[in-house]
Amino acid sequence: MRPVSGFERPALQWLFVALGVVLVVIAAGETVGLRRARSQMDALRAADLNARVEREQLQSRAAREQSARESLTLEVGRLRAGRPGASEPSPTLTLSPLQTRGATPPDATVERPAATQAIQLRLVLPPGRPPHASSYAVVVRTWSGGDTIWSRSGLSLSTVDNRPMVTAFITGDVFAPGAYEIALSGSPADMKTTEVAAYEVAVRPPPDR
């Protein structure tokens, strides 16, 4: 093989050696950078997992506290009902299923209830509903952000005024002024949850005084 002309010069040889050293340094730096990036990604994944677990724990705790408040409110209502001059039964909020979800929030048509007021939420089932479910679940979310603020499962179907509906007691502190969407799902005997219907409601802010 014919030698490369000029390569026998020391200056050129040292130049190639220097370039080789630079390439090795660059490769080593890239390797270190990749390891650091991988470590940071692992740390971020661990932090995200911890945050998710903490969020689920907070949501579970909030749900237990909400359930305890509702139970206390309902028990107080039952005790009052057994006394002379007791107040009227708990108010009801009856909602009909949506045909389609609107592009804008619904008009505010409901007055804001007292925070400790027990309300019977009635969700009318749509015509031609799916086969009877063994249990139903209700989830209340904010209309704009979709954040879950209340949920209840293990509900059963009932008939009120000759209309099939799912009912659940809810306390007034759930419905701050604003718009909400409510999702109703059912779990048949095969345990496969299916969406039954969606509902909307908006609560008016208190009047200015």
Q: What is the model's pLDDT at position 47?
A: 83
User: At residue 6, does pLDDT exceed 60?
Assistant: no
Q: Domain residue spans in the chain?
A: 10-89, 92-203
Cα–Cα dist 178/147, whole Å: 13
Cα–Cα dist 25/20, whole Å: 9
Mean pLDDT, range 199-207, rounded to an integer: 87
Looking at per-residue pLDDT, the higher value among 31 and 71 belongs to 31
Looking at per-residue pLDDT, the higher value among 158 and 13 belongs to 158
What mean pLDDT value characterizes the chain?
A: 78
CA distances for 121 relative to 57, 69, 116, 190, 204, angstroms: 26, 16, 15, 27, 17
Give the dihedral sign, CA 56/61/188/180.
negative
How many beta carbons lie within 10 A of that of residue 48, not counting itself? 10
CA distances for 66 relative to 32, 59, 90, 170, 174, angstroms: 50, 10, 18, 9, 9
Residues ≥6 apart with Cβ < 8 Å to 189:
134
The lowest-confidence range among 89-98, 123-132, 190-199 is 123-132
Cα–Cα dist 29/151, whole Å: 52
Q: Look up residue 139 and give its amino acid.
A: V
Cα–Cα dist 33/38, whole Å: 8
Position 75 confidence tier, pLDDT thresholds 50, 70, 90: low
For 61-74, the pLDDT digits (tens) are: 666 566 656 666 66
How many beta carbons lie within 10 A of that of residue 40, not counting itself? 10
Cα–Cα dist 124/158, whole Å: 10
Q: What is the model's pLDDT at position 85?
A: 47
User: At residue 86, does pLDDT exceed 80?
Assistant: no
Place of tokens 């979310």: 141
Element (H, E) at 124: strand 118-124
User: At residue 7, does pLDDT exceed 60?
Assistant: no
Of 1.10.760.10, 3.40.50.10150, 2.60.40.10, 3.30.420.10, the CATH number of 92-203 is 2.60.40.10
Within the chain, where are the H helices?
10-81
Position 202 confidence tier, pLDDT thresholds 50, 70, 90: very high
pTM of the model: 0.60
For 96-131, the pLDDT digits (tens) are: 999 888 788 888 888 888 887 888 899 999 887 655
